[in-house]
Structure 1
């Protein structure tokens, strides 16, 4: 007696066509690329699949950032295509970002003809070896019949456990070959849950706490566990802190919210962690930035670490209790835990301290950067989605913008420059009805500025804010901290980003005052077209808390 597995089917297809069939089975509807002759059969197969939109970018790095931003926003794997060694190395910054940020991504890369491998063929790079340190899996397809197996496994690996990027190398001679393909149903993503004993132990440790604290990370967002986190925190009056660049994991205006652990973290936030005696870390790898150079959590803290990745737990801090679990599964089981909170006054004190330090009250003495954030809060819809590039300009966003709803922030924990604009393009494609705003410095914006044309060509209406101080500002700050007055390689030339935007068909505004910004932002919101608002700023105001002059005085004491 034989039975056939439901959903299994076979087809006589080329390897390229089989890849597209796998994409369709996995629910892919957006693909980002820079075209290359090494994978033309795959592009041709996509031509025949109307359910998948192909977004052709101006640079592979931009395409990879679009895919990563799309994946973060949609919670689906981002798909990016590029050609051989030159395209692969260009897009590797996006792969590294996906790896550090735990973002699911599947990368298809054209490769030289199998007959030419090992001869240093045209644009040849050993892609498996090149990507191995920054991908969950890197593999080359050598036989067309194995396409369904390998591609299906790639998607499964990208989405399972701690999500991340998978790279598939496609020799150009394999893509047009025909084979009998057998396709299986999409594999489910395992979601491990804590045992009853582990739940009991969590309850016991929290019940013994005087000042418990939750640090919530990207694993909560990836598991769509924001509501479960909110319910668990409210039920037991537990304060919640967001890990680095996971701002929207918990409502920032909630009385249990006690701050964000990032770069230049507010002293009141650090004080809250110092005063905590039990830390419940959920879905966070407790990164260098989150833990302030791995110094934030000490031997005085009792640590409960819940994460879906076995490799993450204990990698930096040894927890009193380690729990391998999907964040949502863990939080839903913890809803049965009922504590008797004795920490109400402490939580209220810490919440008020953070609220006071992050107040958006502005005056004429404040630099334009803070006024910009205030106007964003006043004018943008509450569910607007914000992306940011790397740079000190983001300090004002991180310090003062209140993220009140989930799915309202996408940012690179990898600190990659050039991320803001293309990530916003990807996020807008994931949420076409949301207002999407990117924030960049002039240094980072120039690295992927060519993707303005991509947004115009595909009518992807985002609003790009560019803080132009003609400097690699973050590096200048560190330079002044160590080598005051010795400015080297951090000054940049004058560039009119507003005019550059107009040259590719976007709208462009250049502003120097908050009144000019208000008018530009209102116009951008009204017109619903790709818009760049260039904000001229003074490099002297190098960060939220200090000027270059003050920094030099401090260094030279």
Structure 2
């Protein structure tokens, strides 16, 4: 039986196990949408902006461990989708973007909404392809899913010309296929183990490869067996339980000096599934030239990109840890357990919650205290970009795997739509997004999406009426010359209620925990706006000095 290109696309999606697809509808891929009507097992989530749809797909992929699928129309829709594709690229998230394209006879004529999609997205994606013949849909689309998930995961873009989707052909769609991750050579594993045993001050840095391989528990066993302090890479907090005695802290914005000193003073660094991002390495200054680097990664292209390893092992994190735990012991450890305890104690001291409450504004220290106390340990946290993130990274301890969904790309507008995707992936878990007012305004229209599909996420909006991160940079580099960073905002709680969501505004700490409980009990998508002091822009800022200035000015 002949089938249309649109139906062939959806049949492949079904074979690949796709359960959710996120989109803004477009005329250039109507055939795909029509075929989805006949496949109710694939839920189509229609968002209010392509950027929101791409963030939902990316968040869904992180929380589910499956491929995220997003769709958009040609040109204008595709370029709106780009922010989520870039996030997936930097976060190593498996994503397939299906984009409608102009009709084949109209190409290269500056047709309506025409963009050279494969060229435009080539440097953002692992692979881009335009399918110009209906007969090739199964071959090329299945390859797209394979590339998105194999090796270091990432985004793949598939352009689908409008007229091609309406062509028909007899097709044979084969079952989905996956390749096994590379296995390490036992000789390399033994060498790595001997090097660690002979180290006085070893450190392990755990990245997204640990999370993707679902190797968290193996990593705990390995760290305990090797007496290794574990550091989580930038925005990979849940790669290792934060209260575990082997946990030493995290890398990123505001990493404490004790941890930077420990890593720079390490004689051996084991990097497990991390690409050494600019933020995590403090502008590529993290490792000392005197440190031996053992770099384990599923993607050999990572080796030497930032730091040249003494030993490079091409393997996924799980297979390396499995072999390492089975490797025969040879000799005793030189490293000191006192060093391990010292680093963990310093982390606990640095991240100790402070129940600081104020009456004039919501103190972020107190808010983080209440969040940690009120939320179940398996709650999934998503976040936007912004200075509020400093409080989250410092004070919130992630104890379980698959509880954090955040953008290493630093994309604004990510928090709410990613929470929607995460909640769809893990409907039985509480999902809470934290955003600043600047980032939240970029995708707040997705409140309506959450209401329409009955997706009960909770969005905390930290409102200081400022683009806080940029204001902090301005005050550091150009004091008393702030420009372009003041904002005026709507009543976010009232706006949420207009959408049909639960909305509350909190202006002092004592009211936050009750508002959070009411939001959870409502069973609705919820927005809690918290008013914070615009003079306190960063975690650790001297609040006493700020308050004294405020009193003197009044």
TM-score normalised by the chain length of structure 1: 0.95
1:263 aligns with 2:247: no
Question: What is the CA distance between 1:363 and its match in structure 2?
Answer: 3.4
Relative to structure 1, the CA distance from residue 547 to residue 90 in structure 2 (aligned partners, 3 Å threshold; closer, same or farther) is: farther
Separation (CA, whole Å) in 2 of partners of 1:286 and 1:378: 33
1:445 aligns with 2:440: yes
Q: Secondary structure at the match of 1:134?
A: coil
1:276 aligns with 2:266: yes
Q: Does the 8 Å CA contact 1:540/1:547 hold for their aligned counterparts?
A: no
**Which of 197, 206, 210 is 1:207 aligned to?**
197
1:381-460 to structure 2, matched below 5 A, reads: 381-460=376-455
Q: Does the 8 Å CA contact 1:161/1:309 hold for their aligned counterparts?
A: yes
Q: Secondary structure at the match of 1:174?
A: helix
Q: Does the 8 Å CA contact 1:385/1:410 hold for their aligned counterparts?
A: yes
Q: Does the 8 Å CA contact 2:462/2:532 hold for their aligned counterparts?
A: yes
Separation (CA, whole Å) in 2 of partners of 1:482 and 1:539: 18
The equivalent of 1:288 in structure 2 is 278
Q: Secondary structure at the match of 1:322?
A: strand
Relative to structure 1, the CA distance from residue 313 to residue 367 in structure 2 (aligned partners, 3 Å threshold; closer, same or farther) is: farther
Separation (CA, whole Å) in 2 of partners of 1:242 and 1:305: 15
1:318-357 to structure 2, matched below 5 A, reads: 318-337=308-327, 338=329, 340-341=332-333, 342-357=335-350
Question: What is the CA distance between 1:361 and its match in structure 2?
Answer: 3.1
1:495 aligns with 2:490: yes
Q: Secondary structure at the match of 2:244?
A: coil
1:189 aligns with 2:182: no
1:538-553 to structure 2, matched below 5 A, reads: 538-546=533-541
Q: Does the 8 Å CA contact 2:2/2:169 hold for their aligned counterparts?
A: yes
Relative to structure 1, the CA distance from residue 253 to residue 275 in structure 2 (aligned partners, 3 Å threshold; closer, same or farther) is: same
Q: How many residues align?
A: 541
The equivalent of 1:359 in structure 2 is 352
Question: What is the CA distance between 1:548 and its match in structure 2?
Answer: 10
Q: Does the 8 Å CA contact 1:70/1:430 hold for their aligned counterparts?
A: yes
**Which of 506, 511, 528 is 2:506 aligned to?**
511
Question: What is the CA distance between 1:220 and its match in structure 2?
Answer: 0.5
Q: Does the 8 Å CA contact 1:236/1:340 hold for their aligned counterparts?
A: no
Question: What is the CA distance between 1:120 and its match in structure 2?
Answer: 0.3
Question: What is the CA distance between 1:367 and its match in structure 2?
Answer: 6.4
Question: What is the CA distance between 1:426 and its match in structure 2?
Answer: 0.1
**Which of 33, 44, 53 is 2:23 aligned to?**
33
**Which of 206, 219, 231 is 2:209 aligned to?**
219
Q: Give ranges in structure 2 of 5+ residues lacking alignment.
A: 547-554
Q: Does the 8 Å CA contact 2:190/2:324 hold for their aligned counterparts?
A: no
Question: What is the CA distance between 1:496 and its match in structure 2?
Answer: 1.0
Question: What is the CA distance between 1:357 and its match in structure 2?
Answer: 1.1
The equivalent of 1:233 in structure 2 is 223
Deviations 1:68-90 (A, max 9, x none): 00000111110001000000000
1:120 aligns with 2:113: no
Q: Does the 8 Å CA contact 1:216/1:281 hold for their aligned counterparts?
A: yes
Separation (CA, whole Å) in 2 of partners of 1:194 and 1:543: 43
Separation (CA, whole Å) in 1 of partners of 2:66 and 2:202: 33
Question: What is the CA distance between 1:12 and its match in structure 2?
Answer: 2.6
The equivalent of 1:21 in structure 2 is 11
**Which of 127, 145, 148 is 1:137 aligned to?**
127
The equivalent of 2:528 in structure 1 is 533
**Which of 154, 157, 160 is 2:147 aligned to?**
157
Q: Secondary structure at the match of 1:123?
A: coil
TM-score normalised by the chain length of structure 2: 0.96
Question: What is the CA distance between 1:340 and its match in structure 2?
Answer: 2.9
Relative to structure 1, the CA distance from residue 165 to residue 346 in structure 2 (aligned partners, 3 Å threshold; closer, same or farther) is: same
Separation (CA, whole Å) in 2 of partners of 1:12 and 1:208: 65
Separation (CA, whole Å) in 2 of partners of 1:255 and 1:167: 43
Deviations 1:198-233 (A, max 9, x none): 011101211220011110000110011111111111
Separation (CA, whole Å) in 2 of partners of 1:96 and 1:392: 21
The equivalent of 2:239 in structure 1 is 249
Q: Secondary structure at the match of 2:530?
A: strand
Q: Secondary structure at the match of 1:162?
A: coil
1:309 aligns with 2:299: yes
Question: What is the CA distance between 1:316 and its match in structure 2?
Answer: 0.7
Separation (CA, whole Å) in 1 of partners of 2:533 and 2:180: 51
Q: Does the 8 Å CA contact 2:463/2:532 hold for their aligned counterparts?
A: yes
The worse-fitting range, judged by mean Cα deviation, of 264-273 and 505-514 is: 264-273
The worse-fitting range, judged by mean Cα deviation, of 329-338 and 209-218 is: 329-338
